Chains A and B, each alone.
Chain A
Amino acid sequence: MIGTILQTSFRSLRRDRGAFVMSFVLPIGFFTIFGFVFGSMRGSSTPRVSVLVVDEDRSAASRSLIGGLLREPALDAMTHPRPTKENPAPADYTAATAEAAVRNGDAPAALIIPAGFGANPVAFGPGGQRPTFQILQDSADPVAAQVVSGMLQKTVMMSLPATMAAAGSQYFDREIGGLTPRQKQQMDEGLARLRTLQDEQGAERNSAGTAGSSSATNAAADFSGFVAVNVRDVVGEKKKSPMISYYAAGVGVMFLLFTASAAGGSLLDESDSGALDRVLSSRVSMTTLLLGKLTYSALLAFAQLTIMFLWAALVFHLDFFSHIPGFLVMTAITSFAVASFGMLLASLARTRGQLAAFSTLIILTMSALGGSMFPKFLMSDAMIRVGYFTFNSWAIEGYQKIFWRDEPIRSLGPEVTVLVASGVVLFLLARRFARKWEYV
C-alpha cells in the first residue's frame, strides 16, 4: 500500500515539471550560481578596500608609506583618479578632491598623510609630536575605515623599518637614559643599513607605479598605534541608520520582483479559466491587456515601496519626507522596470508551476548579485560589476544617492536611463511572447 502511494507520488512529481524543478533543479542551480560567485572570493577577486591616498607631506617617508599601501593586498589604494580619454594623466588627489570623491561614492574612504609625517613618523605609546592621519569615510560602509586604519599601522611597520628603528632608539634613549658611545655607534651603523633597505623598497615602489581601488565600511573611531589616526564621516555624518535606505531598497526590490511575477502570472490563471479568451474576443487587444496588467503591477510595486520606506521612516527614522521628489522618481522607474520584468516572465512560462520555478531562480540570483541579500561592500569588484545586470543594483544605487548621499535628482541619470530602457525592452519582449495567447 505504501509502495503504491510512493509510486503515485513520485510519478506525479516527475510529471509536474514546476514541482520537479523546484525540488531538484532550483536548489542545484542556485547553489551553483552562489558557488561560482562566492567561491571566486578566495582568488584574485577577494574584496579589497578602496582607499584614496592624499600625500600632504611629500617626504621620503610618506612616499615609502604610499609604496607600502599600494602593495598591500587588502587595499586598493589610489593616489589619483583612473585615467580616462578626456584626462589621461589625472592630478593626484588633494584633501578636497578626495573628500569630494568619497562623497560621490567613488570610494568608501580616503587617507590623508599629514604634513610633518616624515619629520615625526611614528611614536611608541601615546603623546609625542606625531601628526595625525585623517581617514575620511562614507559611513554607509562600516568596514572600510577600520581596515584602512589597521592596514596603515601594519604598513608603517613593514615599509619603514629604519624609521621604526630610529624612533625605537629615541624612545629607548628617552626612557632608559641613553646608550654608551660604543652601543650608540653600533646602533647608528645598523640604522644606516636599514635606511638603505628602506630606500631600496622605495625605489621598487616607484618602478611599480600606482593603481588601485577597494572597498570597506563605516564605524567612525580614533585609533591609537604607531601613528595617530582620526576618522571623520564625510557622508551620512548626520544620519542615524546608515543601512536603512539600502535595505529598504534592497529588500523592497526583491519582494517587488516576486510580486510582479505573481501579478503577471494572473495572465496564466486567466488563460486557464478561459477568461483571457473571453477578454480577447471582446474589444480589448493583447497590447491593451498587457498595458493594463503592466500598469496594475507597477502601481502595486509603487505602493509596496512607498509602504516600505514609510515604515523605515516610522521605525528606523529614515529621513523620508526630505527626499520625496527623488523617492518618487526612483520608485516610479523601479516599479515600471520590475513590472515589465514580471510580464516577461509570465509570457515566457506555460504554467504557474513553470513560472514559480523560473522566477524564484532568477529573482533570488538577481537579488544575491544585485545587493539585496548581501551588502555590496562585502562583494568583490567582479561581483559588483556582474550586479549591474540586475535591477536590484541600479535601484539600490539610486536610492542611496537620494537618501544617503543627498544627491540631486539630476544625478539619477544613469539609473533612470537603465531602468526605463530595461523596462521598455522587457515589455516589448513580453508583448512578443504573448502572441501565444492571441491566436492558435
Chain B
Amino acid sequence: MSGDRANSLPLRVDSVVKRFGAVTAVAGVSVEIQPGACFGLLGPNGAGKSTLIRSIVGRVRLDSGSISIFGHPVSSSAARADLGWVPQELAVYPLLTCRENLQAFGRYQELHGKLLEDAIAWCLEWAALEDRAGSPVKTLSGGMKRRLNMAAGLIHRPRLVLLDEPTVGVDPQSRNRIFEMVEALRASGTTIIYTTHYMEEAERLCDRIAIIDHGKIIAEGTKETLVAQAFGSRSSVTMHFGAVKIDLGAWAARRGGSAQDSAVHCSVEKPTEIAGLLEAASRDGLEVLDVTLQRPNLESVFLHLTGKELRA
C-alpha cells in the first residue's frame, strides 16, 4: 500500500490480536475504512466488539497488530485529534451544565478562545441543545443526555467519529433526532464507525457493515453483498417448536441452518420447500408452533452467521 493511500485512510486495523489470559477477545482482525464512509460494526455480546472499539480509541495494549488513524498510530497526538469517540456510557459530568461539559471536553482537546466558543456553539446547535446550554446535565431528559454525550465527542470536529450504540435507552422520537444528527455528520464528509444492536439503524445509516463474532470479522460488505453472500437468492425460514426432545442444533445443521433455544433458522430456494421441512419435523417428533418465511435482511444475515439474535 502506498504511503499516501495509507495516510488518507481514516482507519486501518491490521491483524489486531488482544488476549485476556486464556481468552482471545480479538483474534486477528483487519479492517479498512474509506473516507466519508459510515461503517457499521455489529456483533453479539461477548464477540470482541467492545475490545476492538477500545483498541481503536487507544485504550487497549495490543498483543500484536497495529491500528492507525489517517496514517498515525492511535496513541499519537495526531490520531487523538482526528478521532472523536462517543462511548456507550453517558460519559459527561452530571453536575456541570451542557456548556460547561463542552468547555471541559473542548479544553481536553486543546481548544481555546474563539475556536472553543465556536465549537461549543456548533455542538449545541448540532445537538439541538441551545436552549438547554445552561442546564445541569442531571436535569436533562435521557435523549438530551445522549445528544450531549455525542456532542462532547465531536467538540474538536474530528474527521473520524466512533459512535458506540448512541441510541441505547432513548425513546423513538429522540432516536430519530440522533439519526438526523448522524446523517448531518455524514453529509459533512465525516467518516463514521457506528455500532448498534438495532438492525434497522445499521440498514438506514451504514453503507458498509462488518459482523464480528468470536473475535473475528466473519463478514464484511454492503447490506446487499452480505445478504447475497449469506443467502444468494434464497429466503430465510424461522420455525418455532414446542417441547424439543432431540438435538435441535444437529437437526438444524443437517438442513444448513442454526438453532437458537427452541427455534431453527434456515433458508429455502423456493417457498414450497417449507413443506419438506414440516414433514421432516413431523417425522422427528418435533411439534411445530409456527413457521415464518421472509426475504432475507441484515437480521437474517446476522442470525445465519452467528446463530444469535442481535439483541439477545
Residues of chain A having any CB pair with chain B under 8 Å: 273-275, 277-284, 438-440
| A282 touching B105 in the complex, CB below 8 Å, given contacts A275-B92, A439-B59, A440-B61 | yes
A393 to B282, CA, bound (A): 84
Once the chains bind, are B93 and A282 in contact (CB under 8 Å)? Answer: no
A277 CB contacts on chain B under 8 angstroms? 54, 57, 59, 87, 91
Q: With A282-B109, A440-B60 in contact, is A274–B80 under 8 Å at CB?
A: no
Whether A440 contacts B54 by the Cβ 8 Å rule is yes
CA of A278 to CA of B57, assembled, Å: 9
Please give the number of chain B residues whose Cβ is less than 8 angstroms from any Cβ of chain A in the complex. Answer: 28
Determine whether B264 belongs to the interface, using a CB cutoff of 8 Å to chain A.
no
Residues of A within 8 A of B54 (CB): 277, 440
User: Which residues of the partner chain B approach A284 to less than 8 Å between Cβ atoms?
Assistant: 108
Main secondary structure of the interface of B (DSSP, over half): loop
- 14 of the cross-chain contacts (CB-CB < 8 Å) are A273-B94, A275-B93, A277-B57, A278-B87, A278-B105, A281-B80, A281-B83, A282-B105, A282-B108, A282-B109, A283-B80, A438-B59, A439-B59, A439-B61
Q: Complex Cα distance A281/B155, Å?
A: 13
Chain B, residues 69-102, CB within 8 Å of chain A (1/0): the string is 0000000010011010101111111100000000
Q: How far is the CA of A278 from the CA of B105 in the complex (A)?
A: 9
With both beta carbons as reference points, the residue of chain A lying nearest to B155 in the complex is identified as: A282
Cα(A273)–Cα(B109), bound, Å: 19
Contacts of B110 in A (CB 8 A): 283
8 closest residue pairs by CB, A with B: A274-B89, A274-B91, A282-B108, A278-B91, A439-B61, A281-B57, A275-B91, A274-B87
B58 within 8 A of A: yes
B16 in the interface, Cβ–Cβ < 8 Å?
A: no
B266 within 8 Å of A (CB atoms): no
**Interface residue from B58, B61, B91, B153 paired with A273 (Cβ < 8 Å):** B91
A393 and B152 CA atoms in complex are apart in Å by 45
- Least CB distance, A92 to chain B, in whole angstroms: 65
> How far, in Å, is A286 (CB) from chain B's closest CB?
11
The minimal Cβ–Cβ distance linking B159 to chain A, given in whole angstroms, is: 15
Chain B residues, CB < 8 A from A438: 59
Q: Smallest CB–CB gap between A192 and chain B, Å?
A: 88
**A282: which B residues are within 8 A, CB to CB?**
80, 105, 108-109, 156
Q: Which residues on A sit within 8 Å (CB–CB) of B94?
A: 273
Q: Is the CB of B60 within 8 A of A283?
A: no
Determine whether the beta carbon of A273 is less than 8 Å from that of B89. Answer: yes
Cα–Cα, bound, A273→B94 (Å): 10
Closest to B162 in A: A281
Across the interface, do A439 and B60 meet the contact criterion of CB distance under 8 Å? yes
CB nearest neighbor in B for A440: B60
Cβ contact within 8 Å between B93 and A283: no
CA–CA, A279 and B51, complex, Å: 18
